Structure 1
């Protein structure tokens, strides 16, 4: 009976994540064209769009840096479902704005809404979903389960991109807003809580003071600075307890820095060099997403028992770096499509890192641990635009010191190579639950 309940809970979680990711990903292929049309109509290069995108990433990253450990820690006390409600609801607002109109004024409204809602939404849904899976799956099966979760997100990415490929821009945002609303309603109606009721604290909106070490010295929850300092100390304490956790944190930082650099540069690079538009971006994303889905759903459950998470992590980072190096020297418009196939292997790192982390902490710290890794990813997202946005703009402009439009992507590849080298040093230790056992 308990296994059936657990299976149903995971099934409802996977449906929730599919719907949520669908709403987020369907607008990705069109955002470059929408941004360019609103801010620099008729142009293939636009410094304003590049720098606004970078500024948004910095603000979001700084906010997420502080929010992710807090969200994860609160979910350990109040439940995953309770904490999922806020980011999934906020995700609706910017999508509904663009569904209404896409003029310059509305675009700036969307930009502000998206920036500040992403502080809570960006990464928190995945962080909480991973903690939910860790609550319900044994340590030996977590890597495969995390892979399935990532595969579900990749399937949503493929389906959303296919829809965007054939829908008009206006309809795309209307569908996105509708799916965002549907995902929130579905989650609230069907997703069961993964933490037993007798271990949950009082409601998060309760006026009663919680007797929690996390919130002590924070009367009325008004002292956010004190709470943030306490969270940083808890993060440092967790990483001191586990060398693999610290190593994964470093790998996570450099790999996220490289990924953020790639995402910040690639769309503008492809638009400037090969004049890619919405449909070509969609085709490229479909290849990437399909390869990632096949890999996560079919290959990873087979490869994890044979190779273990640590080795699979290194393989994924190697191919992620190779993808970036190939893309940065693309000599024809078909090369990015070939490079996208590398997603068969480059999709592995996130699931592997999350699985390694989940095995280094106790069951009542899963949300906090996943929040720490998400926070480190957010720190990388803060630093990335400071380096890659100016590089992208500089080497795509006529004032570039030499003709190498893909230079910023090459730098992202170097960063990913650093993560790959660091991953080779990770050595497995006994899971947290096994430490101290006879």
Structure 2
């Protein structure tokens, strides 16, 4: 128990340091992009399209790579696979830490696009798989919520630090912080998936899958997964496939809204780096309090199914308020709804993890992350042109937040699907020797 608790605490610190470094550049990157591409302007369609193209390319690559990363983490261990994205993240940050001139920005843009195919969301889903390795199902949703709360706390601290740093110092600190997170993880985080110095056997993994897979479509996972493997995972459980649908539409909505929001606020209310940081700090504080304090209390009492639906509903309300903002204070007020909206993803991940065997958590979380990555392909294709159109002078009618309103409709589809989701009896396919879980 003490060893596992220590491992989780080191995991939380690793995730905090990594996310802190990544989040602190978010408020600054919009200004850097606009300065490099359209200096002196508050509206730039090229910047919006470049961001959308980047998201689409990253999403397409991640769709193929994330299930692979999850599968390899089941075979070789979480710590080994965490090393890869945490190392790669350093390089694009180092470019902007050195210079933010136009040629350096494009070098950053290309390198980040390629690297993000491996790094985008991989640290978070590997951390979720690590938790699933070491926490019993009855307490998993609470620990997932705590992990999500750690991410929100890093979000607050990262954006707060940006508020008091220059743009150049922001990227320098972010690059240094990523190096520190990598070193900390390699030095202190114990491996969770290795058993007596070797990975879990393929036979055990196969047994776990076969117990849930439809009898007429039995399929053994190969060492390297393919699209057929992902489809097989989706067919193992109706609940898991419902979770995948919810993941897709909620991510389409979230990515569409977040990609549009900064350009919308800059064009509509002339927000800059500091105001973006203030807005994100409010979101982060609300999410941190919610997940570290409220969610561990509400999840056992209300149930993760209901909490999922409540979170998705308020996520739609959040987007709706942003889209119709009539004054500069409205986005700040709308961000308070994240106190409840933030419940959705930890509950969804917990529901999905209980549908899959304990020796397939990497595959399951990687599968969901891959589906979210596919949503990252679809969302920019739909919302980038809408954002550019309705922020331009050639908009068919005056509604600058129209693309965010459309994102809210996509989120409503996820909400309706969440009402229908039903959890099945969790599987316990692996032997006690191979699944040493404990209560938190």
TM-score (structure 1 length as normaliser): 0.92
Per-residue CA shift, 1:392-414, capped at 9, x if unaligned?
A: 00000000000000000000000
Q: Is the 8 A contact 2:76 2:194 kept in 1?
A: no
Per-residue CA deviation, residues 313-354 of structure 1 (Å, 9 max, x unaligned), is: 000000000011111010000000000000101111110011
Q: Give CA deviations for 1:262-299 in whole Å, capped at 9, x if unaligned.
A: 01110000000000000100000000000000000000
Which residue number corresponds to residue 356 of structure 1? 351
Partners of 2:247 and 2:225 in 1: how far apart? 22
1:346-425 alignment runs, 5 A limit: 346-425=341-420
Deviation at 1:236, TM superposition (A): 1.8
Distance 2:28 2:341 in 1: 24
Aligned to 1:158, what secondary structure does the other structure show?
Answer: helix
2:101 corresponds in structure 1 to 103
Secondary structure, aligned partner of 2:360: helix
8 Å CA contact 1:80–1:132 kept in 2: the answer is yes
Counterpart CA distance in 2 for 1:305 and 1:47 is 47
The equivalences for 1:286-365 within 5 A come to 286-365=281-360
- Which residue in 2 is equivalent to 1:30? 28
What aligned pairs does 1:265-280 form with structure 2 within 5 A after superposition? 265-280=260-275
Within 2, Cα distance between the matches of 1:111 and 1:15? 29
Contact 1:79 1:200 in 2 (8 A): no
Please tell me whether the aligned partners of residues 67 and 225 of structure 2 are also in contact (alpha carbons under 8 angstroms): no
Conserved? CA contact 1:312–1:348, under 8 Å: yes
Q: Is the 8 A contact 2:319 2:407 kept in 1?
A: yes
Look up the match of 1:87: 85
Number of aligned residue pairs: give it.
Answer: 416
Deviation (angstroms), 1:432: 1.2
1:355-399 deviations in Å (ceiling 9; x for gaps): 001100111100000000000000000000101000000000000
The alpha carbon displacement at 1:200 in A equals 3.3
Q: Which residue of 2 aligns with 1:188?
A: 186
Query: Following the alignment from structure 1 to structure 2, what is the Cα–Cα distance between the partners of residues 152 and 126?
Result: 11
Instruction: Measure the CA separation in 2 of the matches of 1:380 and 1:228.
Output: 26
Q: Distance in 2 between matches of 1:45 and 1:65?
A: 31
Structure 1 segments unaligned to the other structure (5+ residues): 203-209, 215-225
Query: Contact 2:279/2:332 (CA < 8 Å) preserved in 1?
Result: yes
Summarize deviations over 1:86-129 as a string: whole Å, max 9, x none. 00000000111100000000000000111011000001101100
C-alpha RMSD of the superposition: 1.9
Contact 1:66–1:228 (Cα < 8 Å) also in 2: no
SS in 1 for 2:422: coil
| Offset of residue 199 of structure 1 | 7.3
Give the alignment partner of residue 12 of structure 1, picking from 10, 24, 31.
10
1:50 aligns with 2:48: yes
| In 2: Cα distance, 1:159 partner to 1:60 partner | 26
1:139 aligned residue: 137
Task: Indicate if the aligned counterparts of 1:158 and 1:285 stay in contact, CA closer than 8 A.
Answer: yes
Q: Write the distance in 2 (CA, Å) between the matches of 1:240 and 1:20.
A: 34
Normalised by the length of structure 2, the TM-score is: 0.92
How far does residue 212 in structure 1 lie from its aligned partner after superposition?
11
Check 1:233–1:306 CA distance in 2 against 1; reply closer, same or farther (3 A cut): same
Q: Is the 8 A contact 1:266 1:409 kept in 2?
A: yes
Q: Tell me the SS of whatever aligns to 2:303.
A: helix
Q: Which runs of 5+ in 2 are unaligned?
A: 207-220, 431-440
Alignment correspondent of 1:119? 117
Q: Rate the CA distance shift 1:154–1:213 in 2: closer, same or farther, 3 A.
A: closer
- Distance apart, 1:307 and its partner CA: 1.1
Give the ranges of 4+ consecutive aligned residues of structure 1 lying more than 3 Å apart after TM superposition.
198-202, 210-214, 226-230
Contact 1:77 1:199 in 2 (8 A): no
Q: Deviations over 1:194-249 (max 9, x none)?
A: 123337349xxxxxxx99999xxxxxxxxxxx979953222222222211101110
